[in-house]
């Protein structure tokens, strides 16, 4: 479909949309189920089901997306309710005996299929089996009921976080250490106090730079108690429910249930990976804690949760003479975006052209993604994208500058909007019933600091890395050529989905890239000085021990929550593991798990996937380090083998094809200074 997505949905339309789309799908499923067994074939059974489900998903995807980005509270409420209805209906859908029997009836024929089609049949049947199909009716219905209940808990948890409006009032003196553009954009009370919200553009700079330790302690206390009154119980109820689901389906734990269809396969493999990595990192982490305690002085032996970011930032300034508040002057948002488009356009063979497309808010920027004219890269352009065939080869590609996908930026905070940075897949690319290809669309929804005090929006270097990370997800979504929606874009194994995002972070540390994406906001021609670039790269691993120990803590916490045999005290376990693994204790009377949205938003028993994927990404990037990070030929190979297929093939196999060998951990350990 060459037409760009539409976002104009009045609340009353969203309220009724579930009835319409469910009715349409039910009619298609009725036709599928009623096909006589001798007349069944791949097209009228497996492909018909896949296409019906993909079109159903596309019909509700944008209305649900509006729950996270609309500035209309009434619309957000209806969209949240729609998400709940559709999620629960999908549980019904994948527990239907009649559809499952129809698919099994076709499978019993034993028709010889191409590798992608055979994989589609296998994964579709597995979806039903993982929802209890094949179990006796009582257990199947129990699973169905629990899954619906679980969806409600997860969506309420996320909705609570989106509506957080807690603030800390601070005096002008308590803002000492913060840059002028930060204080200039803060709201003030009638008494002259400044308001610090729980949004990341407020929270992170304050924890990095505020000289007043007591003010940092108060803010960290508020931040790590967000929604604790509501969300702690929701999470603990969800963990208990998941444990029952795993047990009812015959798994040792919920984690083993979730991992059965992922690269890692089981919780033992994940814990082995995490423990192995922890052993290699804890020495470096302890050295880093000691360095920060030395800077803190006073002979103290504990680096508190409200202190580590501040002393980490201070050490960067002292040891590497890096002042990130000064460095951000070289990263105006517009310069970074234009440079990023230029860099990855060159590597991947596309152009991002501003376009006046329909959007969901006046501040959203929209782009058409176009093929480069006359691009010489192998299968480089992708409009109209032709899907992968069973052979794994593209069925051809145009090089005529035509539109291939749509992209959107929603950059700054606003009330009711999603609080973090994320890539949202707005529309998947897949082959439609008439043989045409649905052009994919994706958005980066972020909360970068807004322009203030006469200065443009300026990104800290961490923001630049975040932007590159999310753009990696964008490339995965938009450069798909998967034939089937089930395998399209980021619809890969959960522990592989972060590979393209972690992959692109590496470009942010390359001198030639930093030269392209920087330019002082007062003197655009003045690039980030070579000396500062050297310091940024040198400082990359100055805190890698603490950073990755923190990531290991979250990953192990998640696995412990979801492999526990009995009731979990989420606060007590959080406290114990945080102190042991991250080397920084949890602040007294805080409940950070109440805002650990990943565990209630798709990463439950899967947080390890960030680190797992980063190990793979580091290995993939080592090929670019060897042959040149702007190597368009290698970029085309990466695009064809890693991005375009989605989940059409086994991910580990595609990585091995790209590298010429199985992936290993050496490149990752070297990249973080822990080889």
Show which residues are catalytic: 470
3-class DSSP state of 408: strand
Asked if 262 and 604 touch (Cβ cutoff 8 Å), the reply is no
> Who's near 382: CB < 8 A, 6+ residues apart?
350, 371, 397, 398, 404, 405, 479, 481, 644
- 605 burial level (CB within 10 Å; 0-12, 13-18, 19+): buried
Q: What proportions of the chain, in percent to the nearest 5, are helix, strand and coil? A: 55, 5, 35
Instruction: Please tell me the distance from the alpha carbon of residue 143 to that of residue 129, in angstroms, as a whole number.
Output: 11
Instruction: Please tell me the distance from the alpha carbon of residue 175 to that of residue 182, in angstroms, as a whole number.
Output: 9
CB atoms under 10 Å from CB of 212, counted, come to: 18
Alpha helices in 479-540 (DSSP H): 499-505, 511-517, 530-539
Q: Which residue has the tokens 């916490």?
A: 557
Instruction: Please tell me the distance from the alpha carbon of residue 298 to that of residue 292, in angstroms, as a whole number.
Output: 12
Tell me the sheet residues that pair with 445.
410, 422
Which 8-state DSSP code applies to residue 639?
Answer: I
3-class DSSP state of 10: coil
Q: What is the 3-state secondary structure (H, E, C) of 185-254?
A: CCCECCCCCEEEECCHHHHHHHHHHCCCHHHHHHHHHHHCCCCHHHHHHHHHHHHHHHHHHHHHCCCCCH
Backbone angles phi, psi at 606, to 5 degrees: -145, 5
Asked if 230 and 153 touch (Cβ cutoff 8 Å), the reply is no
Instruction: Please tell me the distance from the alpha carbon of residue 652 to that of residue 204, in angstroms, as a whole number.
Output: 36
Q: Which residues of 106-119 are buried (b: 16+ CB within 10 A; e: fewer)?
A: bbeeeeeeeebbeb
Q: Identify the CA nearest to 360 among candidates 1, 119, 62, 659.
A: 62
Q: Identify the CA nearest to 114 among candidates 388, 379, 386, 395.
A: 388
Instruction: Please tell me the distance from the alpha carbon of residue 598 to that of residue 390, in angstroms, as a whole number.
Output: 35
Q: Check the CA dihedral 519-522-524-526 and report its sign.
A: negative
- 374 burial level (CB within 10 Å; 0-12, 13-18, 19+): exposed
Q: How far is CA 561 from the centre of its chain?
A: 21
Tell me the sheet residues that pair with 455.
452
Asked if 165 and 423 touch (Cβ cutoff 8 Å), the reply is no
Q: Which residue has the tokens 């680096």?
A: 303
How many residues are listed for the chain in this entry? 675
CB atoms under 10 Å from CB of 181, counted, come to: 21
């Amino acid at each position: 479909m060459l037409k760009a997505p539409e976002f104009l949905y009045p609340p009353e339309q969203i309220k009724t949309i579930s009835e319409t789309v469910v009715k349409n799908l039910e009619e298609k499923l009725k036709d599928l189920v009623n096909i006589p067994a001798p007349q069944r074939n791949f097209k009228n059974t497996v492909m018909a089901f896949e296409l019906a489900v993909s079109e159903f998903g596309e019909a509700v995807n944008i209305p649900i997306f509006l729950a996270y980005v609309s500035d209309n509270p009434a619309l957000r409420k209806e969209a949240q309710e729609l998400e709940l209805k559709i999620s629960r209906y999908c549980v019904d859908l994948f527990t239907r005996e009649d559809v499952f029997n129809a698919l099994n009836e076709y499978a019993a024929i034993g028709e010889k299929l191409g590798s992608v089609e055979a994989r589609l049949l296998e994964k579709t049947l597995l979806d039903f089996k993982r929802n209890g199909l094949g179990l006796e009716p009582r257990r199947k219905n129990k699973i169905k009921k629990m899954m619906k209940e679980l969806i409600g808990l997860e969506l309420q948890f996320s909705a609570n976080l989106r509506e957080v409006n807690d603030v800390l009032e601070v005096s002008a003196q308590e803002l000492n250490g913060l840059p002028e553009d930060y204080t200039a954009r803060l709201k003030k009370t009638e008494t002259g106090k400044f308001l610090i919200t729980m949004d990341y553009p407020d929270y992170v700079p304050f924890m990095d730079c505020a000289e007043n330790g007591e003010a940092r302690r108060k803010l960290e206390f508020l931040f790590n108690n967000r929604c604790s009154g509501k969300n702690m119980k929701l999470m603990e109820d969800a963990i208990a429910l998941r444990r029952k689901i795993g047990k009812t389906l015959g798994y040792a734990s919920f984690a083993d249930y979730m991992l059965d269809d992922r690269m890692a396969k089981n919780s033992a493999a994940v814990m082995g990976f995490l423990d192995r990595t922890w052993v290699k990192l804890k020495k470096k982490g302890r050295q880093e804690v000691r360095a920060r305690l030395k800077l803190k002085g006073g002979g103290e032996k504990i680096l508190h949760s409200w202190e580590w970011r501040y002393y980490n930032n201070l050490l960067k300034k002292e040891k590497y003479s890096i002042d990130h508040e000064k460095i951000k002057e070289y990263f105006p948002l517009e310069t970074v975006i234009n440079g990023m488009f230029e860099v990855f356009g060159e590597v991947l063979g596309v152009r991002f052209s501003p376009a006046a497309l329909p959007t969901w808010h006046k501040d959203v920027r929209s782009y058409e993604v176009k093929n480069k004219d006359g691009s010489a890269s192998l299968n480089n352009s992708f409009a109209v994208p032709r899907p992968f065939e069973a052979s794994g080869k593209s069925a051809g590609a145009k090089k005529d500058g035509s539109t291939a996908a749509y992209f959107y930026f929603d950059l700054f905070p606003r009330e009711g909007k999603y609080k973090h940075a994320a890539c949202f897949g707005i529309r998947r690319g897949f082959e439609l019933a008439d043989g045409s290809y649905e052009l994919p669309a994706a958005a980066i929804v972020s909360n970068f600091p807004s322009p203030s005090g006469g200065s443009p929006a300026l990104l800290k270097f961490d923001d630049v890395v975040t932007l590159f990370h999310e753009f990696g997800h964008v490339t995965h979504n938009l450069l798909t050529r998967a034939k089937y929606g089930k395998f399209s874009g980021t619809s890969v194994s959960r522990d592989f989905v972060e590979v393209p995002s972690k992959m692109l972070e590496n470009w942010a540390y390359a001198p030639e890239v930093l030269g392209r994406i920087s330019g002082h906001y007062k003197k655009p021609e003045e690039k980030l000085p070579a000396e500062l670039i050297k310091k940024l790269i040198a400082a990359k691993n100055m805190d890698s021990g603490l950073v990755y120990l923190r990531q290991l803590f979250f990953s192990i916490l998640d696995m412990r929550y979801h492999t526990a045999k009995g009731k979990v005290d989420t606060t007590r376990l959080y406290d114990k593991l945080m102190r042991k693994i991250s080397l920084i204790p949890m602040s007294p009377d805080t409940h950070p798990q109440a805002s650990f949205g990943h565990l209630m938003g798709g990463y439950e028993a899967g947080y390890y996937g960030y680190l797992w994927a980063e190990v793979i990404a580091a290995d993939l990037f080592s090929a670019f380090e060897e042959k040149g990070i702007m190597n368009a030929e290698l970029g085309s190979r990466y695009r064809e083998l890693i991005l375009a297929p989605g989940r059409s093939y086994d991910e580990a196999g595609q990585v091995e094809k790209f590298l010429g060998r199985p992936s290993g951990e050496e490149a990752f350990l070297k990249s973080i200074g822990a080889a």
